[in-house]
Structure 1
Amino acid sequence: MITVTRLNGTKVTINALFIELIEEAADTVITLTTGNKLVVKEKTSELIELNQQFLQTIGLVAAAQKSE
């Protein structure tokens, strides 16, 4: 799970495994596999870092590195 900030300043925690697409224009839009969209303050690079940290905590990054 990662916590992001909506444009109105409220925090929301989402399951990072459901992120399908991140678009960055004037605002950053996260599209989930459910079709839901969130507009957030974080930039794409921050979201990628948060997602990588999450994947490490659940052991998916280590598992992917061992299979290479």
Structure 2
Amino acid sequence: MIALTRLNGSRFVLNSDLIQTIESSPDTTVTLMSGDKMLVREGVDEVKELTLAFRARLIADAARQSPEGLVIATGQLWHESPAASLGIAARRAPHSLPDIDSDFESDRDSDLDSDLDRPL
């Protein structure tokens, strides 16, 4: 949730997960996933920074509540710098992660084969 200011000066809190786009034309327009538009006093960069700071706090809170730390599962090698920039101690997963795309392809292919074997 981020606190923003309408053009008339009233403050409100917005669920930043609902933001689809942020534009400056010349007022800052925040377009929500629903299509609703909100005009705010904060600039595009400030809305972005507020959103990133909120998400970083969520990740940091989750890391503090997890005694074993966080394991980031992306299917790619973990780079230490993103976690360090958020102040989060990261550790590598104990085993390599499967290649999700190849598993999906083999599952899909076997499903297609079984569909072909079924009588109509």
Normalising by structure 2, report the TM-score: 0.50
Gaps of 5+ in 1: none
RMSD over aligned Cα, in angstroms? 1.8
Shift of 1:46: 0.4
Q: Which amino acid aligns with 2:52?
A: Q
Shift of 1:59: 1.1
Relative contact order, CA 8 A, sep 6+: which one is greater? 1
Shift of 1:36: 1.2
Aligned residues: 64
Q: Larger strand proportion, structure 1 or 2? A: 1
1:53 matched to which residue of 2?
53
Q: Displaced runs of 4+ in structure 1, greater than 4 A?
A: none
Q: Larger helix proportion, structure 1 or 2? A: 2
Q: Matches of 1:36 and 1:19 in 2, distance apart?
A: 10
1:32 matched to which residue of 2?
32
Which protein has the larger Cα radius of gyration, Structure 1 or Structure 2?
A: 2
Shift of 1:30: 0.1
Q: Matches of 1:58 and 1:31 in 2, distance apart?
A: 23
2:68 matched to which residue of 1?
none
Normalising by structure 1, report the TM-score: 0.85
